[in-house]
Amino acid sequence: MLDANLNRLSEGIRVVEDILRYGFNHKDFALSLKNLRHQCRITSYFANYFELLNTRDSLKDVLKPSTKDEQTRENLENIFLANFKRAQESARVLEEILKLDSVQESEHFKSIRYTLYTLEKEILTTLFTP
C-alpha cells in the first residue's frame, strides 16, 4: 500500500509538472511541483528501498484495469484535475497509514497534501480562468 501510494503521488505530480514545463513553459509552477515531488519519500523506508519494493505486486492488483472515466480526458484542465486529485488522495492515504508508525512521517504527507491544494488553486486559476 505504501509503495503504490508513493508511486501514485509522484506520478500525479509529474504529469502536471511536465505539462507545465513542456506545454506551458511555466518555470515557477513546474519547479514548485518538481521540488514537492522530490519530498515524496518516506525517510524510514528510503534507507531500505528494496524492503518497500518487495511489497509491490502490480500483477495481482485487483483494480489494475482502467475505468471508462480514466480512459477519457477532454482537455488539459481535466488532466490537471485528475492528477491533482490522484496526488492529493495518495498523500492522504500515506498520511493516515503512517500514523501507525510515525507521526512525523504522517505530518510530512499532510503538509504535502495541503501544498497540493494550494498549488492546484494557484495553477488552475492562473491557467484556466477566463
Domains of the chain by residue range? 1-57+76-128
- pLDDT-derived band at 46, boundaries 50, 70, 90: low
Distance, first Cα to last Cα, the chain: 39
DSSP letter string over 26-70? -HHHHHHHHHHHTT---HHHHTTHHHHHTT--GGG-TT-SPPHHH
3-state SS, residue 100: coil
- pLDDT-derived band at 73, boundaries 50, 70, 90: confident
Burial of 40 (0-12, 13-18, 19+ CB in 10 A): buried
- pLDDT-derived band at 128, boundaries 50, 70, 90: very high
Q: What is the mean pLDDT of residues 22-26?
A: 97
- pLDDT-derived band at 74, boundaries 50, 70, 90: confident
